[in-house]
Amino acid sequence: MITIKDIAKVAGVSHTTVSRALNGSPLIKPDTRERIAKIASDMNYMPNYSAKNLVTRKSNTIGLFFSSIEQGTSSSFLADALKGIRKQLGNMYMLTVSGIDDSSSMDYIDPRRYDGILVMSQSEWDNRFIYHVQSAGIPLVVLNRQLEDPSICNVASDDRVGGKAAADYAFECGHRLVAMIEGKAGFKSSSERKLGYMDSLMAHGLTPNPTYFVQGDYSIESGYTAMNQLLDLQERPTAVFCGNDDMAIGAMNACFDRGVQIPNEISLIGFDDMTFASYTNPPLTTIHKSVSEIAEEGTRLLLERLQYPQTLPVQRLLGSTLVQRRSVSKLAEHR
Amino acid sequence: MITIKDIAKVAGVSHTTVSRALNGSPLIKPDTRERIAKIASDMNYMPNYSAKNLVTRKSNTIGLFFSSIEQGTSSSFLADALKGIRKQLGNMYMLTVSGIDDSSSMDYIDPRRYDGILVMSQSEWDNRFIYHVQSAGIPLVVLNRQLEDPSICNVASDDRVGGKAAADYAFECGHRLVAMIEGKAGFKSSSERKLGYMDSLMAHGLTPNPTYFVQGDYSIESGYTAMNQLLDLQERPTAVFCGNDDMAIGAMNACFDRGVQIPNEISLIGFDDMTFASYTNPPLTTIHKSVSEIAEEGTRLLLERLQYPQTLPVQRLLGSTLVQRRSVSKLAEHR
DNA sequence: TTTTATGATGAAAACGTTAACATTTGAAGT
DNA sequence: ACTTCAAATGTTAACGTTTTCATCATAAAA
């Protein structure tokens, strides 16, 4: 492996000059810079990053950490996030991916290994990790889950507004009996979406019906069983707001299996607008949330903080909007 | 940041001793080892990996490279792969993720940055990259795409066998007019699956009908338009083998839109068995292929090669088997 | 006792960079 | 021609490890 000293020898200069030339120092005469660059490329030089990092105390690495890489994370989620991040990152930084629950991940958090960290968070369980990172002094952006703490840089989608939009739409379509299949207990997104639903309920002067709330866990299966529960009710809801698209798909299946027509007999609204939402039957009306946008914006923010460490942490909520498809019926008798 | 020298000072030994103690050298007396370990943990010592890597000429990093992170890669794919890999990797190695097309990714391939590389490959376009890695002398395993070259370690699913299984099943169910929606042109998997179909055709003594082959690109949309093309035919096929599940879903949608019943009027077979396959309507009969298993096995192999560099490269094909669901009808009149 | 081996430790060099400080060069100002 | 200053380059010391080679005990063998 060839080093800057080898280049120095060939170029007849000191290795320091080579280092400077290759790093674009203004101290080097343009023509020697070019001469050295030429030699370096001819010799197929590649810098040794370990050595570089050792002395600069940088790592050229951004770490992406997931709530739980094993479970709970829907797959399009991870992929979208990755795409958004890589897009922003270019090839200035390496990107590592780990689950927060990777055995004792804490022990491996070290400012010398990560220039910055992105946390794709889903539940409050991640807080321990998040604060560990913060107290280690590593620049940090938390993605996807809304945080309270103003000292932490954060970008997420506005789940509450989205939840409200979903419920609003149901009510505007004339539905009065609208149930909700809730997301995973303990996940902030679950409670926010529910809160949004509640906001809408209140705004429309309606009172919540306890039997119309059933707990899910964001999985397709949970949507299926939850929907069956709803269908067993004496007074069936005419619309169901599902905490995410996966559960909506499970719910759809439950309906198909029991021969109840969507949207004629029952309407369905999802949340997330994943790729498949347009391809269910009928296409799913849902709340659009762009994970890749969140990831992209978060990465942009992180990069900014790396460049200007003084930048103040910001909390950003990306809008979530309703996309109308065909899983919701308009009720005629709505006054 | 505290270093081994700090520990040495406290322990009253040389930093060499500390290094040895912390790395489990047999030269160190058990009790001094423990004493040092205690001090290190008390002082909250974390090794500086840059320094370590500099002298050991290792990187503690495995690189995962994707065919095209931007497009073509279905999302469950990426997520599954990641899960399989992380599972095997534990926390011995960092894992970085990049797209092969990341601007000039070649320039960043360096044995000092990657102890080993996994390539999640989909098309022959990746070969350039693969051979670059190999000639750089970095231990390498190519995943997911079957390779010809016996000098390269490779694990993939047996697409051809899978394709044959799919077609066999259609024929056994009495179908004679079975079309195929092909995967992305240039992808090895596309041609292998088609070859498998051909094998079956031949085994059943049938002759291929050129109009029954329509090109897709593995996307949902392409499945949709391809299916429409098929439905426009004078003599409609009674069954369609789709190159992957995404296209099968697109095809399903085309059918729904035109009111053609699945599986009564037309049968559908997919490939991959992604999560959603069980939740389409009707549930999709498809060929099961486990990306996470492939990833896991590939990682195992890579790790083995890192430990025993002499290990010979192996080519492994993981079986792909049919999973029967409800998108294929049994034709009575099949004599 | 004196040697000899061996088990445990230490000193110093090396890994490939960057950075602080020193030196040279050359041109401009007197 | 002599100083002065700035621009360009060189010297040397870090950075935090591991590793080679030497040293020093200590216990066994003579």
Judged by CB atoms closer than 8 Å, whether chains meet at B281 and A256 is answered as yes
Q: For residues B144 and B157, what is the distance between their CA atoms, to the nearest angstrom?
A: 6
pTM confidence score: 0.90
Phi, psi of A143 (to 5 degrees): -105, 150
CB A200 within 8 Å of CB A161: no
Give the closest of A108, A110, A279 to B250, CB-based: A279
Chain A partners of B79 at a C-beta cutoff of 8 Å? 73, 75-79
Chain D: bases < 7 Å from a protein Cβ:
7-12, 14-20
Grade residue B333 by pLDDT with cuts at 50, 70 and 90.
low
DSSP B331: P
How many angstroms away from the CA of B223 is the closest CA of chain A? 11
What is the structure's pLDDT at B68?
66
- Separation in Å: C23 C1' and A36 CA: 22
Q: Is the pLDDT of residue B247 over 60?
A: yes
Q: Which nucleotide is nearest to A14 (CA to C1')?
A: D10
Give the mean pLDDT of B67-71.
59
Phi, psi of A211 (to 5 degrees): -70, -10
Chain B partners of A59 at a C-beta cutoff of 8 Å? 50
Which neighbouring-strand residues pair with B109? none
**CATH code reported for the domain at A159-289+322-334:** 3.40.50.2300
Domain B4-47 coded CATH 1.10.8.60: no
What is the structure's pLDDT at A229?
97
Give the closest of A48, A103, A220 to B279, CB-based: A220
Chain A partners of B114 at a C-beta cutoff of 8 Å? none
Chain C: bases < 7 Å from a protein Cβ:
7-12, 14-20
Q: Does B252 touch chain A (CB under 8 A)?
A: yes
Chain B partners of A275 at a C-beta cutoff of 8 Å? 75, 220
Give the closest of B1, B48, B75 to A80, CB-based: B75
Judged by CB atoms closer than 8 Å, whether chains meet at B95 and A99 is answered as no
Give the closest of A50, A76, A91 to B103, CB-based: A91
Tokens of A75: 């797959």
Q: Does B253 touch chain A (CB under 8 A)?
A: yes
What is the structure's pLDDT at B56?
96
Judged by CB atoms closer than 8 Å, whether chains meet at A82 and B97 is answered as yes
3-state secondary structure of B108: helix
pLDDT in tens, chain A (335 residues): 899 999 999 999 999 999 999 998 888 999 899 999 999 999 999 999 999 999 999 999 999 998 764 455 566 778 889 989 998 998 889 999 998 875 556 778 899 999 999 999 888 888 999 999 999 999 999 999 999 899 999 999 999 999 999 999 999 999 999 999 999 998 889 999 999 999 999 999 999 999 999 999 998 999 999 999 999 999 999 999 999 999 999 999 999 999 999 999 999 999 999 888 888 889 999 999 999 999 999 999 999 999 999 899 999 999 999 999 999 999 875 44
Instruction: Write out residues 12-71 of B within 8 Å (CB-CB) of A.
Output: 46, 48-51, 53-54, 59, 61, 69-70
CB B142 within 8 Å of CB B153: yes
Q: Tell me whether strands B321-323 and B286-288 are parallel, antiparallel or unpaired.
A: antiparallel
Give the mean pLDDT of B59-84.
79
Give domain limits for chain B.
Answer: 4-47, 61-157+290-318, 159-289+322-334
What is the structure's pLDDT at B334?
44
Chain B partners of A94 at a C-beta cutoff of 8 Å? 61, 96, 98, 113
Q: Does B3 touch chain A (CB under 8 A)?
A: no
Judged by CB atoms closer than 8 Å, whether chains meet at B275 and A75 is answered as yes
Mention every residue, 6+ apart, whose C-beta is less than 8 A from residue B325: B277, B278, B282, B283, B284, B285, B286
Mention every residue, 6+ apart, whose C-beta is less than 8 A from residue A33: A21, A24
Mention every residue, 6+ apart, whose C-beta is less than 8 A from residue B292: B80, B81, B83, B84, B87
- Determine the topology of domain B61-157+290-318 in CATH: Rossmann fold (3.40.50)
Chain A partners of B62 at a C-beta cutoff of 8 Å? none
Q: Does A279 touch chain B (CB under 8 A)?
A: yes
Q: Does A250 touch chain B (CB under 8 A)?
A: yes
Give the mean pLDDT of B86-106.
82
Tell me whether the CATH fold assigned to B61-157+290-318 matches the one assigned to B159-289+322-334: yes
What is the structure's pLDDT at A334?
44
DSSP string, B167-222: HHHHHHTT---EEEEE--TTBHHHHHHHHHHHHHHHHTT----GGGEEE--SSHHH
Judged by CB atoms closer than 8 Å, whether chains meet at B91 and A105 is answered as yes
Grade residue B278 by pLDDT with cuts at 50, 70 and 90.
confident
Give the closest of A50, A96, A107 to B50, CB-based: A50
Tokens of A256: 């198909």
What is the structure's pLDDT at B276?
82
What is the structure's pLDDT at B73?
53
Q: Does B279 touch chain A (CB under 8 A)?
A: yes
Q: For residues A121 and A65, what is the distance between their CA atoms, to the nearest angstrom?
A: 8
What is the structure's pLDDT at B125?
83
Count CB atoms within 10 A of the CB of residue B225: 17
How many angstroms away from the CA of A67 is the closest CA of chain B? 13
- Separation in Å: C5 C1' and B12 CA: 27
How many angstroms away from the CA of B87 is the closest CA of chain A? 9
CB B281 within 8 Å of CB A253: yes
What is the structure's pLDDT at B97?
92
Reference A143, options A304, A297, A312, A271; nearest CA is A297
